[in-house]
Amino acid sequence: MLKRIFPTLGRVRFAVQIFMLFVTVYGGALLGSYTVNRISQSLPALSCAYDKMTGDHCILIVNQHLLHHRVGEVLVKAQEVTLKVFIPVAISVGVFFMFFFFLNKMFCGWVCPLGTVQELLYRLGRRLGRPLNRFKPENVGRVRPVKWLMLLLLVLALPVMAGMGVVSNELGDPFCQVCPSRIATTLLTADSEQIAVRTSTTVNFALGALGNAMFGFIIIAALAARQPFCRICPMLSWNALFQKLSPMRLVKKDAHDKCEKCGVCEKACPMDIHEIGTQFGKKAFHEDCTLCGRCAEYCPDDDVIQIKFFGFKLFGSSRDHYKLRVKMESPEGQPKGKVFWLAPAKVEK
Amino acid sequence: MKKFGIWIVLPFLLLIGQSAQAAGKTAQSYEVEKKGGHDHAAMMQGMGKTAAWTLYPTLKARMSGENRETMKTAIVPQNIVAANIDAWSNNLKDENAYRQLPMDMGGAMLDKPTNGGFHWLSAREDQGDTVRIASIVQSFNERGAKDPTAMFMRQKHELEIIPQPYPREHARYRANEDWKFLVRFNGQPLSGQKVFLESSNGSMAEFVSDAQGVVKVHVPDDFKAEEEKPAAGSHNHGMRRTADLVLATEYADGGKTYLTAFNSSYGQNAFDQRNLAMGLGFTLLGMLGAAPLLRKRKTEQKSKEADNA
């Protein structure tokens, strides 16, 4: 029965995503108001601290606050920079890494509430017959650096500069002010405060206007493009920094002659990582990969693409899984006919 | 989609220029800025031992110390005479789960505990047939702090007003919000009990507890528009202006009269200095920007038509 409910990795991931959407958006309401202080406060996903019901906080808000209040303030006061300044930063990164170590970038592909919302919107777009806009190999490279700029500028540089007094204090947590997850998750709790633009100062207003416009863009774009915000998300680049330090990996065979003509995995990748089809070995695990596992699900050959943990195969591509997957949904995410709540009994074997 | 990245980065670069100009501050002006913004010690200055805005007993927390690691909090009783402050930590298994903090001229000193978290602080005045109690919650936000619910619910006095729940980290009581409190006597909920609210902005209100002893308190939206607003550019976690409120209730039993009060600060209405219409407008603008992506391309349509044919 379990196999009929969860016949594919995609179905397992979808169930995890929905569960984590409830934990990250409504966790405080479900598990107790004070849960937010007790899990990690450094989650490697966009679980928003502005959401009054969230079960945990995202690492990025912690980073911005620590850089703003600890590092920036101490630097400008020209006091002795002691370990006490950096210990809280090290603790928050350490706690983050304790989570990240086990799941790696699965936090993006399986846990992040904004990732789930975008995927749900994309599914809606398929049902509404909207087109799929993809980045071609020749232009995807133009977007990829933006996530690093977002990390350097909004998560690292501006909070430190705000702490030093170089820029105004409103730029102490600039990423949070433009993050679509802040608006999306608070709206999911019927809280309209965050979609209301702050008007107290010009900088607040500008950040708010930019954040709202980006949120609006993402909501509509997600109907016709896969994971539009994920591509520029600083959490993607932050997680990419630690990607090689986790035993959870995407692994592709060093060489496989059929890959050149196939390319189904490229079509299945929601992040338009064309390298998954053209590269082999370690290079196939790209910095933009969110470990969603779709490439492995849609690879028609046995064990060419695998998700491994400490070298043990958790999931590997197979002909049978491929056949089942394409019966339910095309590699691009177009559903085939009606929704399967239970896999057909005949494909259970 | 080609210029997607450029349009994302460009506004931020413009914003930095705007911000630096708006801030107009250097390291020299840092201290001034701090007092207008995030200096907790400065925020607590100027409080006397008599709360002029209410006759109910209250406690005032004054933070002191520049270093966050050694920051101390002085608990000052107002409108109540007490020899010490009773302090309960949220870690009930800790050896410091309950402490009596001695009073000196500056109040009772509560040092930042290693386990952080929430503390319940009470002052008690027992005079013949009258018992008066003042309580507050003091929070030291620390990662991994224990859930304070059990500590809040532990019986500490005969008559109690207990937040259900208390605002967690990054939250606070704010004007125009409803918050629940449990009123109980000797651990038993009191139904139909009157609870009075007074605020330092001059509001007064009365609430009555339900059958479960729970009273829903509406925080008054009573900040005056003409009051001075924080300096532009100040950082105060979005808390903006604050005021104090006290909830109090009285109950007679066994020839004694008990009065208990719970006080806290509260902030402005969530939508103060926010504009919902503009927020929706900018969201709509972003949506319009993405609308072309929803259009089907002619080539795509043609290929579908060809497939159908």
Burial of A141 (0-12, 13-18, 19+ CB in 10 A): exposed
Q: Is the dihedral of CA A272, A276, A278, A279 positive or negative?
A: positive
Question: What share of chain B has pLDDT > 70, as a percent?
Answer: 70
A13 phi and psi, to 5 degrees? -65, -40
Query: What pLDDT shows up at residue A191?
Result: 93
Same domain, A230 and A251: no
Shared domain for A150 and A49, answered yes or no, is yes
Using a CB–CB cutoff of 8 Å, tell me whether B23 touches chain A. Answer: yes
H-helix or E-strand spanning residue B300:
helix B298-308
Contact B168 A34 (CB under 8 A): yes
Task: Give tens-digit pLDDT for B195-234.
Answer: 999 999 999 999 999 999 999 999 999 998 755 555 444 4
The reply to whether B147 touches chain A by the CB within 8 Å rule is yes
Interface test with B, best of A200, A218, A271 (most B CBs within 10 A): A200
Q: Judge whether residue B11 has pLDDT over 80.
A: no
pLDDT at A78: 56
Looking at the structure, do residues A51 and A172 belong to the same domain, yes or no?
yes
The Cα A285–Cα A109 span in angstroms is 14
CB-nearest partner of A38 from B25, B145, B294: B145
Q: Which of A143, A197, A206 sits opposite B5 (nearest CB)?
A: A143
pTM of full prediction above 0.90: no
Q: What is the pLDDT of residue B36?
A: 33
- Residues of chain A contacting B234 with CB distance shorter than 8 Å: 169
The mean pLDDT of chain B is 79
Of B117, B169, B240, the CB nearest to A36: B169
* Chain A interface includes B267 (CB < 8 A): no
Taking CB atoms and an 8 Å limit, are B148 and A34 in contact across chains? yes
The reply to whether A258 and A169 lie within a common domain is no
Euclidean distance between CA atoms B162 and B55, whole angstroms: 20
Using the Cβ of B276 and the Cβ atoms of chain A, whether some distance falls under 8 Å is answered with yes
CB contact under 8 A, A201 and B232: yes
| Domain shared by A219 and A254, yes or no | no
Last residue in a domain, options A237, A255, A286 = A237
Please check whether residues A173 and A253 belong to one and the same domain: no
State the pLDDT at residue B15.
54
AA identity, residue A116: T
Indicate whether B94 pLDDT > 90.
Answer: no
pLDDT at B63: 78
Among A141, A122, A119, CA closest to A132: A122
Q: Are B279 and A195 within 8 A, CB to CB?
A: yes
Out of A34, A209, A216, the one facing B287 most closely (by C-beta) is: A216
Rounded Cα gap, residues B181 and B183, in angstroms = 6
Which structural domain range is residue A258 located in?
246-347
- Residue B149's CB: how many other CB atoms inside 10 A? 17
Q: What is the pLDDT of residue B13?
A: 54
pLDDT greater than 70 at residue B42: no
Q: Return the H-helix or E-strand segment holding A307.
A: strand A305-309
The string of DSSP codes covering B12-45 is: HHHHHHHHHHHH---GGGHHHHHHHTT-HHHHTT
Whether residues B276 and A192 touch (CB distance < 8 A) is answered with yes
> Which one of A135, A203, A233 makes the best mutation probe of the B interface by having the most chain B beta carbons within 10 Å?
A203
Across the interface, of A130, A146, A195, the residue whose CB is closest to B280 is A195
Q: Which of the two residues, B194 and A349, has the higher pLDDT score?
A: B194
Chain A contact for B170, CB < 8 A? Answer: yes
Residue B8 binned pLDDT confidence (cut-offs 50, 70, 90): low
**Which residues of chain B does A213 touch, with a Cβ-Cβ cutoff of 8 Å?**
282-283, 285-286, 289
Please tell me the total number of residues recorded for chain B in this structure: 309
CB contact under 8 A, B30 and A76: yes
**Residue scoring higher pLDDT (B10 or B294):** B294
A266 Cα to chain B: minimum distance (Å): 19
Position B66 scores a pLDDT of 59
Strand locations in chain B (E): 58-64, 72-78, 84-89, 98-104, 107-111, 117-127, 130-140, 159-163, 178-185, 188-189, 194-199, 204-208, 214-218, 242-253, 256-267, 274-275
Q: Most B CBs within 10 Å: which of A31, A34, A79, A134, as the mutation test of the B interface? A: A34
B289 CB near a chain A CB, below 8 Å? yes
Confirm if A58 and A47 have CB atoms less than 8 A apart.
yes
- Based on the fold, state whether residues A76 and A103 are members of the same structural domain: yes
Domain count, chain A: 2
Angle between helices B276-290 and A202-221 (to 10 degrees): 40
What average pLDDT does range B255-274 have in this prediction? 94
Do A267 and A296 belong together in one domain? yes
Query: Which residues of chain B neighbour A154 with C-beta distances below 8 Å?
Result: 12
User: Domain ends where: A187, A210, A237?
Assistant: A237
CB contact under 8 A, B148 and A166: no
Q: Tell me: the pLDDT tens digits for B143-185?
A: 666 788 899 999 999 999 999 999 987 789 999 999 999 999 9
Closest CB to A216 among B118, B141, B285: B285
**Low-confidence spans in chain A with pLDDT less than 70:** 37-38, 76-85, 338-349
| Beta-carbon contacts of residue B140 (< 8 Å; ≥ 6 apart) | B112, B113, B116, B117, B119
Contacts (Cβ under 8 Å, ≥6 apart) of B23 = A165, A166, A167, A168, A169, B233
- ipTM for this model: 0.89
Q: Write down the pLDDT at residue B158.
A: 96
CB distance A219–B287 less than 8 Å? Answer: yes
- Predicted local confidence at residue B239, as pLDDT: 47
Structure tokens that stand for A16 in this block: 């995890």
Query: Per the CB < 8 Å rule, is B4 touching A143?
Result: yes
Query: Do A258 and A217 belong together in one domain?
Result: no
Same domain as A142, residue A20: yes
Distance CA B86, CA B134 (A): 10
pLDDT value at B72 more than 80 = no
R_g over Cα of chain B? 26
Predicted local distance difference test score (pLDDT) of residue A39: 76
- Cβ–Cβ gap A135/B291 under 8 Å: no
Chain A residues inside the 8 Å CB shell of B294: 125, 130-131, 220, 223-224
Which among B19, B284, B291 has CB closest to A167?
Answer: B19
The confidence band for B40, taking pLDDT boundaries of 50, 70 and 90, is very low
Asked whether residue A196 falls in the same domain as residue A78, the answer is: yes
State the Cα–Cα distance between residues A45 and A18, nearest whole angstrom.
Answer: 14
> Quick check: B289 and A216 CB within 8 A?
yes
Domain boundary among A211, A237, A263: A237
Q: How many Å lie between the alpha carbon of B276 and the closest alpha carbon of chain A?
A: 4
Contacts of B300 in chain A (CB under 8 A): 131
- Cβ of A196 within 8 Å of Cβ of B279? The answer is yes
Q: Are both A117 and A24 inside the same structural domain?
A: yes
Q: Residue B232 and residue A200: Cβ atoms within 8 Å?
A: yes
> Alpha carbon of A187 to those of A129, A312, B164, B271, B283: distances in Å?
26, 40, 24, 15, 13
The verdict on a CB contact (< 8 Å) between B274 and A198 is yes
Q: Would you mind telling me the total number of residues written for chain A in this entry?
A: 349
What distance in Å separates the CA atoms of residue B178 and residue B217, rounded to the nearest whole number?
5
